Every structure is written in structure tokens, then in C-alpha cells.
Amino acid sequence: MLRSISLAILLTIAPASAFANSCPTQMAAIDAALPTASLSEADMAKVKELRQQGEDLHNSGDHAGSEAVLGEAKQILGI
């Protein structure tokens, strides 16, 4: 029974930690693309805003929300 409980806990935690590890990778990709991005001022401002929102969501523990926001920023950047 203890083994079943341990497995259930692991399966619950694993997806959350996968999201947690992906957020910094996505933020780094956005940061690397920003200096050479050919975007309008409005799009550049939007990407920077989304990047900050993604970091804030990540830091608050909302990794799924962070992934979604960072994905939107990456889409605007074309990465």
C-alpha cells in the first residue's frame, strides 16, 4: 500500500516539476531572441510584458499559466 501511495504522489508531482523546469528554458529563449528581433514597438512591448507575466506566474507556482503566456511571447517572436 505504501508503494501505491508513493507512486501516486510521484505521478502528481512529476508533471508540475516538468512545467517548473520548462519555464526558465522558455524565458531564456525569449531573452536570447529579443536583442535581434525585428518587431514593431507595440509587439516588442507586448513580448516584454508577456515575458514578465510568465516569470511572475512561474515564481508564484502557476507553471501552466506561465507556459501559456511564455508560449504566446515565443509565437510573437517567431521562435
On whether the CB atoms of residues 20 and 60 are closer than 8 A, the answer is no
Report the alpha-carbon distance of residue 31 to residue 54 in Å, rounded. Answer: 12
Higher pLDDT: 30 or 5? It is 30
Q: What is the pLDDT of residues 18-76, one digit of tens each?
A: 445 799 999 999 999 999 999 999 999 999 999 999 999 999 999 999 999 999 999 99
Q: What is the model's pLDDT at position 7?
A: 47
Give domain limits for the chain.
2-77
Report the alpha-carbon distance of residue 68 to residue 22 in Å, rounded. Answer: 11
